């Protein structure tokens, strides 16, 4: 495969990742609703530790486990924010600020 073929493959993988992340976000919203009704905290470090252990056990490479954990730390941070938004802990101004991305628009692949 040439670079164009690999980029097409990456585009397809990105599409699938977006679908899965959206599905995960929907689950996080529902968990946030349940937490609101049961007075559970948004941040649950024991649960996060379990998720990190699970993804490391599933990892077959080539992505190093520490990098995979870093990715999931960010995913879980975003999901916590989604839960907080659903519970109404943030103002509209704070939400707009958080919608900005850290990624530079010049970044490729």
Q: Can you state the angle between helices 65-87 and 45-58, rounded to 10 degrees?
A: 140
How distant, in Å, are the alpha carbons of 3, 12, 107, 109 from that of 8?
Answer: 9, 6, 16, 10
Q: Domains in the chain, start-ordered, CATH in brackets?
A: 3-98 (1.20.59.10)
What confidence score (pLDDT) does residue 65 get? 94
pTM of the full structure: 0.73
Contact 72, 21 (CB under 8 A): no
* pLDDT tens, per residue, the chain with 109 residues: 999 999 999 999 999 999 999 999 999 999 999 998 999 999 999 999 999 999 999 999 999 999 999 999 999 999 999 998 875 444 344 444 445 555 544 445 5
**How many angstroms separate the CA atoms of 101 and 36, rounded?**
28
Residues of 1-27 as b/e, b for ≥16 C-beta within 10 angstroms? eeeeeeeeeeeeeeeeeeeeeeeeeee
With H, G, I as helix, E, B as strand and everything else as coil, classify residue 38: helix
CA distance 24 to 77: 13
């Amino acid at each position: 495969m040439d670079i164009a073929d690999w980029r097409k493959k990456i585009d397809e993988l990105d599409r699938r990742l977006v679908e899965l992340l959206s599905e995960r976000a929907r689950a996080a919203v529902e968990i946030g609703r349940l937490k609101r009704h049961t007075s559970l905290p948004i941040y649950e470090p024991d649960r996060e530790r379990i998720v990190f252990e699970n993804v490391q056990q599933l990892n077959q490479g080539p992505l190093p486990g520490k990098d995979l954990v870093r990715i999931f730390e960010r995913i879980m941070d975003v999901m916590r924010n989604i839960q907080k938004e659903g519970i109404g802990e943030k103002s509209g101004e704070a939400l707009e600020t958080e919608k900005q991305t850290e990624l530079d628009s010049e970044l490729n692949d």
